[in-house]
Amino acid sequence: MNLSLRKRRGRAAGGYSFAEVLVGSTLTLFMSISFFALIDTSTDMMRTARENVRATQIMVNRLEGLRLYAWSQVSDPTLFPTNFTEYYYPAGTNDGTAGVLYTGSVQVASAPMSPAPSYATNMEQVTVTLTWSSGNVLRTRQMSTFVARYGEQNYVIQN
């Protein structure tokens, strides 16, 4: 039986140098921080997109409501309010989970047409503007449509 021990020459068996461990740890740390920053950014982008969609829903709701008003009622602020508030989640107003508060205004003005055609006095432009605070950023969205004296509302409600 021969029990001779052989010595290895060169590097230590299977070990890493301090420099290799330092570089690997730095890369792992950088990748971890980047991953969590990506999650945070994507969450903020998703929240902003949802708030924008809700703002669009509110504005479309107001403008589509115009179809139910007669021509004489569109300019009447008692029937068609010029200022309003809505919440991101209206059902949550009772338990405090309503979320973002949207404040809006409605402006009714004569339709901007140049040169003015003969029917210009029978048209109005309605603009809905919404503002809300998202984090520390004040956001504003605006949507406009035209209403005609002899338009669709005459078929819904007789003047």
Cis before residue 115, ω within 30 degrees of 0?
yes
pTM metric for this prediction: 0.73
Q: How far apart are CA 13 and CA 2, in angstroms?
A: 24
The angle formed by the CA atoms of residues 138, 143 and 145, to the nearest 5 degrees, is 160
Question: How do the domains of the chain map onto residue ranges?
Answer: 18-156
Q: What is the pLDDT along the chain (159 residues), one digit of tens a residue?
A: 666 666 656 555 667 889 999 999 999 999 999 999 999 999 999 999 999 999 999 999 999 888 788 888 888 878 888 899 998 887 766 776 778 899 999 999 888 888 888 888 888 999 999 999 988 899 999 999 988 888 766 665 555
